Amino acid sequence: MNPANYLYVSVLLFVIGAIGVVVRRNAIVVFMCIELMLNASNLAFVTFARINGNLDGQVIAFFTMVVAACEVVIGLAIIVTIYRTRRSASVDDANLLKR
């Protein structure tokens, strides 16, 4: 199978994720979209590793997963805290910086 197809999937996933981040209001969904973009880039890394025949891309994919895991922990904690204080998980409600 042509490795380029994986790249197309990767681009598709990244675009879906990016659009989701920009369009959706629910913080959880936005967050999941970010995860989607990370995974899209992971897929691209792994694909390129396969295409180029070395392991660098796969190693970086591991790094990305570790970072993503940390990020999930902190991000979810922030979202939960915001929800607790404001009874809302909409990113548009969190605009205190503007004032």
Partner 1 sequence: MTSNSLVYLIALPLIGSAVLLLAGRRADRWGHVLATLASGSSFVVGLYQFSQMLARSGEERAVTQKLFSWISVGSFKVDAALMLDQLSICFVLLITGVGTLIHIYSIAYMSHDLDRRRFFAYLNLFIAAMLLLVLGDSYLNLYVGWEGVGLASYLLIGFWNQKPTYATAAKKAFIANRVGDLGLSLAIMISFATLGTVSFSGVKEQAEHASTGALTAIGIMLLVAATGKSAQFPLQAWLGDAMAGPTPVSALIHAATMVTAGVYLIVRSNFIFDAAPTAQLMVAIVGAITLLFGAIIGMAKDDIKKALAASTMSQIGYMILGAGLGPAGYAFAIMHLLTHGFFKAGMFLGAGSVMHGMDDEVNMRRFGGLRKFMPITFATFGIGYLAIIGVPPFAGFYSKDKIIEVAFNAGGVKGWIFGCTALLGAAITAFYMTRLVIMTFAGNKRWDAKAHPHESPALMWIPMVLLAVGSVASGFIFSQGNSLRNWLAPVVEHEHEVEVELLSPAVVSILALLLVALGVGIAVMKYLRTEVLREAPENVSIFTKIARRDLMQDAFNEAVFMRPGQKVTAALVDIDKFVIDGAVRGVARLTQGSGSALRTTQTGYVRSYAMWILLGAIGLVATIWIVTL
Contact call for residue 82 and partner 1 (CB under 8 A): no
Q: What is the distance between the alpha carbons of residues 17 and 36, in angstroms, rounded to a whole number?
A: 5
Alpha-carbon distance of 73 to 44, in angstroms, equals 24
Q: Which is nearer to partner 1, 55 or 97 (CB)?
A: 97
Considering only 7, 16, 18, 28, the residue that binds partner 1 (CB under 8 A) is 18
Contact predicate 59/8, CB 8 Å: no
Contact call for residue 96 and partner 1 (CB under 8 A)? yes
Stretches 1-9, 17-25, 41-49, 73-81: which one binds partner 1 (CB under 8 A)? 17-25
Give the sign of the dihedral formed by CA 52, CA 58, CA 63, CA 69: positive
CB of 14 to partner 1, least distance (A): 10
